[in-house]
Amino acid sequence: MRIRKIITKKLIFLFIILNFFINTKIYSNDFNNILENKNYYNIASSSVDLGEKVFHELEVKNEEIFSHNSSNDMNKCFDIWKCIKEIVPSKYLNYISKFELYTDGYENTLAYVTSDINRDNKWMICVDINDSFKNDGVLNERIKETIMHEFMHIITLNNSQMDNSNTSKTYTIAEGKLKEDAILNDFYNRFWSKHEDYVKKEESIKPYSEEYNILTNNFYSLNKDEFITKYASSNPVEDIAETFIYFIKSDIPLDNSIKSQKIRFLYTYTELIDIKNFILNNCKTTL
């Protein structure tokens, strides 16, 4: 999950015109395709992130995405959105205001969520078209697990979990200060408070820099028995999201390892049990 700035459509247009005069042509066919497709609720925009191409950015209205365009890309949009609706119950779909189809190349970031900077307590879900489909056009099996992971970010980081006026010492992240009874705050207190020094250090370093990679790799090597996956050891936000996948897909673990305690912790929330049942009912044969 990451927060990104989105360039406005006017800036995209100026950018294209400028490059047209400099190079006598638009140097990417993707931009031509974007300009031709004018039937979307929101014409595709370009990301500040270098190396990432955004093909479609669609408004979500009444839990659906809409387009009069019938291109292969749009058919893939609908396939992915159907998959999202199998995992995210109606109550939580209302948190999603935009759906973006992009790519950063193969085998990089399959999907992520980011807050909608123009709408309070709304989220944007972004999915990589190249990583979402296999060569035969069938959805990649990993897409459902990834959507579960990103959905848990929405569950744990939405405004109902935050209270910036809270004077208690609760876990504080980029999205705000968590309530005392917030799911993630409770998770942090139980499983991460002993790693407070690492958490502060991890938050202060540029992600994926050499220093960051050394820090996180060393931390995982020393504490790997506590985590479902290596990525889970990055920080509490990613840990609870990774644990959520195993909570959905597996039975209640009986051993007393910390990673199993984390899964059992999620069973203490009726809300999460209801979500698990919703997903399993919709995805019985595909998980």
pLDDT tens digit at each of 287 positions of the chain: 643 333 333 344 444 444 433 343 322 333 233 223 322 222 222 233 446 788 888 899 989 987 656 666 788 899 999 999 999 999 999 999 999 999 988 888 999 999 998 899 999 999 999 899 998 889 998 999 999 999 999 999 999 999 988 788 899 998 889 999 999 999 999 999 999 999 999 999 999 999 999 999 999 999 999 999 999 999 999 999 999 999 999 999 999 999 999 999 999 999 999 999 999 999 976 77
User: Which strands sit side by side in the sheet containing 53-61, from one edge to the other?
Assistant: 64-65, 53-61, 96-103, 123-128, 111-115
pLDDT of residue 204: 95
Each domain of the chain, given as residue ranges in start order, spans 9-140, 159-282
**Alpha-carbon dihedral sign for residues 202, 204, 208, 212:** negative
Q: Could you give the CA distance from residue 24 to residue 125 in angstroms, rounded to a whole number?
A: 35
pLDDT of residue 177: 94
What are all long-range contacts of 213-216, with beta carbons under 8 Å and residues at least 24 apart?
none
Q: Could you give the CA distance from residue 244 to residue 272 in angstroms, rounded to a whole number?
A: 9
pLDDT of residue 69: 64
Q: Could you give the CA distance from residue 69 to residue 114 in angstroms, rounded to a whole number?
A: 26
Say if residues 266 and 235 touch (Cβ distance below 8 Å): no
pLDDT of residue 72: 65
Reported as half-sphere exposure (CB side, CA atoms, 13 A), residue 80 has a value of: 32
Tell me the whole-structure pTM to 2 decimals.
Answer: 0.80
pLDDT of residue 38: 28
In this structure, what token pair is assigned to residue 267? Answer: 């069973």
pLDDT of residue 137: 87
